[in-house]
Structure 1
Amino acid sequence: MTWLGTDALNVLDAVRDAVPSLRNNGAATENQRRILDENIELLQEARVFRIAVPERFGGLDLPVAQQAEILTAISRGCASTGWASMVWVSTAWIASLYPNRAQEEVFEGGSVRISGGFTPSGTLVPVDGGYILNGSWRFNTGVRGAQWNVHAATVDHPDGRHEELFALVPTGDITIADDWDVFGASGTDSATSTAKDVFVPDHRVVDTSVYDASTGNRWNADTKGRNYNLLSYVLATCAPVYLGIAQNALELFIERLPGKGITYTSWTEQREHPHTQIQVARAANQIAACEALSRDWLEVIQGRADRGEKMTVAEKAVVRGQVGYLVQSTKEAVETLYNISSASTILRTNHFQRAFRDIAALSLHGLLTPTSSLEAHGRVLLGLEPGTDYL
């Protein structure tokens, strides 16, 4: 477990108290295809949506390892709520990379939920004082429950330059489609958002320099301790969701085991069967190994930030590869438990089947899919270029 300060412990305790409610709300969250208002209120009361907000705006400004601990706990209760919370929290940190004037607008209330469409599927046209934004962004997680949204878009300059920019707009300025209908992570409301002729002032548009958190005209550009490498930070806040889902699956499996036999056999207690014991131990150790790996990369990310140093390519490749490995291993752990579960596991009233579907769905995320992540890591280990800019 990460060392936690008083603020983080208070948030974590409140989240742990909320886990049974988040779990019990799982079916309703799926049916609604978005996070229940009750879940948002529980996390709001726990101050979850302050954990990445700078202190001067009333935020808790927790270090990434403490954010990760809290996101893991949320995901133990509900994967969809954990995933949406991860997006809202990590994108709030991204908002701290914007100019001071934008931060004052976004963080005014101290607690904020921000979503984002980071595939540049929109356009920005320069006008006096800012830009006009148009476009649509698929898989925009939690957008209906967010107050602000980041949109990646391209702009063509008169001199022929083609630039990628990130526009930050109030969610009320965009429209949201009802097109999120999936078999896993169903409650994340990762719907398509659309902007049509939305004016975005200059101070709420940044370029790809946000990938280097130590640059930009921010009040805190030189502050040590929170200027993380953007992609490493995002990956480090995604990983806890998978850990939380796997921990949840293990807890649920063990909970249901006493008194359960193995159908059509003479075994009246499945937990006494050696195969069950071995498989449970295997799954538990896979999860524990992933927890240990995550502590290593969180320490590297925070250490570099504390010293005001940039991460090396090798360090960033390790984070990318090991997060991919964590995604693969936690998914395998859940599958191991599913494969020794009883047929009643498939009932929708059984919380385990939801964890199984959620981790299967989330393992396909483009940035987190194990194959491409391990490839980038392996290339660097072999002395080659990583083959991707997403480090």
Structure 2
Amino acid sequence: MSASEIGAAEVLAAVRDIVPTLRDNGRKTEDQRWIVADNIELLEKAGVFRVAVPKKFGGLDLPVADQAEIISEISRGCGSTGWVSMVWISTAWIASLYPDKAQEEIFAEGSVRISGGFTPGGTLKPVDGGYILNGTWRFNTGVPGAQWNVHAALVENESGEHEELFAIVPTSDIEIADDWDVFGASGTGSATSTAKDVFVPAHRIVGVDVYDASTRDRWNADLKGRNYNLTSYILATCAPVYLGLAKGALELFLERTPGKAITYTNWTDQAEHPYTQVQVAHAANKIAACEALQNVWLEAMQRPTDAGEKMTTEEKVAVRGQVGYVVQATKEAVETLFNISSASAILRGAPFQRSFRDIAALSLHGLLTPVGSLEAHGRVLLGLEPGTDYI
């Protein structure tokens, strides 16, 4: 089946088939601090890196709900692979905000992997035909295997004020450090990238106004259907990683529990213990509730873009608050299961402990940490301003 003939159902089915392989590769991915080549090849074959690419370039241009389901399924197999896939997919959508000429270069192969450093860690100096980029960006997820990378940087305008711009360059133009060594999500290769006197042509530079898809049409796309609010879109592609991790952890717990005795007690099968049953039900229902909540914000995003309308402040801040709640609740669900696991769950050979550490690490992400998200949502519910521009 050619790339033009596949759709969301085919990509999802292909990803489900490789979940066991992603899970089996988890230890090696963690040990080498980067997802194994086999995972990338399988996802490429499944069509994953086409899902956010515009159709005119051979992509699938799937709606965000389909993207979310695919990302969740990848994460069910491997949290690090899911997080990297999310970055590559969502940044491909971001690349569709760039001018036509840039898109023709970026999407030349139809399938593409793009990473990005979105904290302004560099500077841009205007020169004839473009800019010179210099800077360093930490926590740059997926950059070791990306073909392109977005860099947020500051340029001084004529009035002396600094403007934030976003340059996209081939990863062959930048340096990638070997400095990613962490306790969770350790296979994401979120290394430091550095640009030294890199020339960026003007057509591969955009400003904040272009990045805010709620204030203008995006390039090379119909007004209706894919013109999502930027922050809501990013949040809606991040959340499925937490859901997938939690669902995978529940599966792994249920696989290893029946027939396992509770040490130093008379219980020969932990599955028969009422406390185990109640806690498992708590965890399962938290995950199910989070999945239902995801459907709420996905509908809230798709409805206005289908109608060619903008999301309201209340709708946007609700997405952020709801995603923050899901980050918290899925983490709690995995912790609940971990707390009733036997001591053997801490063995590095057991995939369950990796899910526990991955979701704990990813819950600290600045945009996704529950406190800030819930605060913004609560402020608006109380009739106040959100207190943040990131909605």
Distance in 2 (CA, whole Å) between partners of 1:386 and 1:368 is 15
Q: In 1, are the aligned partners of 2:94 and 2:211 still within 8 Å (CA)?
A: no
Distance in 1 (CA, whole Å) between partners of 2:385 and 2:211 is 18
244-253 or 206-215, larger mean C-alpha shift: 206-215
Amino acid at match of 2:209: S
Distance in 1 (CA, whole Å) between partners of 2:76 and 2:260 is 24
Distance in 1 (CA, whole Å) between partners of 2:222 and 2:9 is 28
| 2:368 maps to 1:377 | no
2:47 paired residue number: 47
1:60 paired residue number: 60
| 2:107 maps to 1:107 | yes
Alignment of 1:27-176 (within 5 A): 27-176=27-176
1:313 paired residue number: 313
* SS of structure 2 residue aligned to 1:261: coil
Alignment of 1:224-235 (within 5 A): 224-235=224-235
The aligned length equals 387
Q: In 2, are the aligned partners of 1:214 and 1:221 still within 8 Å (CA)?
A: no
Q: Which runs of 5+ in 1 are unaligned?
A: none
* SS of structure 2 residue aligned to 1:198: strand
How far residue 210 of structure 1 moved from its aligned partner, in angstroms, is 2.8
2:301 paired residue number: 301
Q: In 2, are the aligned partners of 1:99 and 1:218 still within 8 Å (CA)?
A: no
Task: Describe the superposition over 1:339-390 as per-residue Cα deviations: whole angstroms up to 9, x where unpaired.
Answer: 0000000001100000000000000000000000000000000000000000
Amino acid at match of 1:87: V
Q: In 2, are the aligned partners of 1:71 and 1:241 still within 8 Å (CA)?
A: yes
Q: Which runs of 5+ in 2 are unaligned?
A: none
How far residue 53 of structure 1 moved from its aligned partner, in angstroms, is 0.3
TM-score, normalised relative to structure 1: 0.97
* SS of structure 1 residue aligned to 2:7: helix
* SS of structure 2 residue aligned to 1:195: strand
Distance in 1 (CA, whole Å) between partners of 2:247 and 2:175 is 36
TM-score, normalised relative to structure 2: 0.97
How far residue 27 of structure 1 moved from its aligned partner, in angstroms, is 0.5
Amino acid at match of 2:376: A
RMSD: 1.2
Q: In 1, are the aligned partners of 2:22 and 2:39 still within 8 Å (CA)?
A: yes
Task: Describe the superposition over 1:175-234 as per-residue Cα deviations: whole angstroms up to 9, x where unpaired.
Answer: 000100000000000000000000001110000013322666854355310010000000
Distance 1:108 1:307, change over 3 A: same
2:205 paired residue number: 205
Q: In 2, are the aligned partners of 1:69 and 1:240 still within 8 Å (CA)?
A: yes
Runs of 4+ in 1 over 3 A off after TM superposition: 214-219
Distance in 2 (CA, whole Å) between partners of 1:275 and 1:362 is 29
Distance 1:359 1:130, change over 3 A: same
Alignment of 1:343-354 (within 5 A): 343-354=343-354
How far residue 303 of structure 1 moved from its aligned partner, in angstroms, is 0.9
Distance 1:219 1:369, change over 3 A: closer
